Structure 1
C-alpha cells in the first residue's frame, strides 16, 4: 500500500517539476531557417579535399561559431553563400516554442553518435521584434547541436532527445520540399 502511494507521489512530483522547470531557450516571435544547398555542400567537400578552404564557411559548418549573436560575418555568410533561407510559419514557430526548444526534465536523454564530427547544415535564427535572440545549429546526422542565446542561464543538457531530432528533420524537410 505504501509503495503504491509512493509511486503516485513520485509521478505527481515529476509532473509538477516538469511544468515549473520548462523555460524557453530563446525569446522569439519569428524564426528563419537556413539549409545548406546540396551543390554548395558538394563544392565544400571537393574544396576541402583539394586544400581550398573557406574558413568562415568551415567555421559555420564544423565548429562552435559564432560565439555571439551580433556576428555580422556569420549572417552575411549564411545569407549569401550557399544557404537557402526559409521563414517559418506561425504554426511551426509555436511548435518550436512549446515543444522543442525548452529546458525539459527528462529521465532519459537519447544519445546519437556523439563520436562523429558535427556538420551543421541546418541553422535556425530566432528573432524577437526583429532582433536576433538566438541561434541553433543542428547536425541531424550525429545528433549534436550548438546554441547561442540572449538568455544567460539556459540549460541545454536535455535537448536532443530522439523525438526532438526526428521532429526537426521532418519540419526541415517540409521547407526544403517546398523549394524543389
Structure 2
C-alpha cells in the first residue's frame, strides 16, 4: 500500500511540476505594439551600405541587433515610427491573454531554432505611463529579447505561446 501511495505521489508531483505557472513578467496597464513589414534581404542590403544615415543604423540595431540592451534605454521608442514601424495600442480586452503569455512557465519540451532573428514586432509595456518592459519578438525564429523583468524568460513562447501571441497581435480584428 505504501508503495502505491509513493508512486501516486511521484505522478502527482511530476504532473504538478510540468503544469507549474510562475510569476508574470510585468505588472502593466498599457501595451503598445510596434510592427514593421520588411524583407530580410532589404535589411542585409542595408547592412552592407557604407554610409548609413542615423535612422538606417537605428533600424538595423533595433531589428537585427540587441538594441536596447537595458530597460533604461528608451530613447529609441519615439523614433520607431520614423524608421518604418507602425504603432498600435493593444486593447485592454487582450491584456489578460497577453499576461498569460508573458508568464513564467515550465514546459515538457523546449524548442530552439537556429536562424538570424529579425525582430519585426516590439511590445512596450507600461504602468501608469512609465515604461516597465520591452519585448522584441521574431516570429520566424521563435526568438525574443525581453527586458524589464527579473522573472526567468528562457522558456518564453514555448507550448504554442508564440502562435498565440502572433494571432493576438497580427490578426485583423472584426
Q: What is the CA distance between 1:8 and its match in structure 2? A: 3.3
Give 2:32's aligned residue: 32
Distance 1:145 1:37, change over 3 A: same
Distance 1:122 1:45 in 2: 18
1:89 corresponding residue in structure 2: 91
Q: 1: distance between equivalents of 2:88 and 2:59?
A: 19
Count residues with an aligned counterpart.
170
Tell me how far apart the structure 2 counterparts of residues 43 and 163 of structure 1 sit (CA, whole Å).
29
CA RMSD in angstroms comes to: 2.7
Distance of aligned partners of 1:17 and 1:47 in 2 relative to their CA distance in 1, 3 Å threshold:
closer
Q: Which is helix-richer, 1 or 2?
A: 1
Of 147, 158, 162, the residue aligned with 1:161 is 158
Counterpart position of 1:145:
144
1:168, distance to aligned residue in structure 2 (A): 1.2
* Change in CA separation of 1:173 and 1:20 when aligned onto 2, cut-off 3 Å: closer
How far apart, CA to CA, are the structure 2 residues paired with 1:83 and 1:22? 32
**TM-score, scaled relative to structure 1:** 0.79
* Divergent runs of 4+, >6 A: none
Of the structure 1 ranges 54-63 and 12-21, higher mean CA displacement relative to structure 2 is found in 12-21
SS at match of 1:80: helix
Task: For structure 2, list consecutive stretches of 5 or more residues without a partner in the other structure.
Answer: none
**TM-score, normalised relative to structure 2:** 0.82
User: What is the correspondence of 1:5-44 to structure 2 with a 5 Å cutoff?
Assistant: 5-14=5-14, 22-38=22-38, 44=43
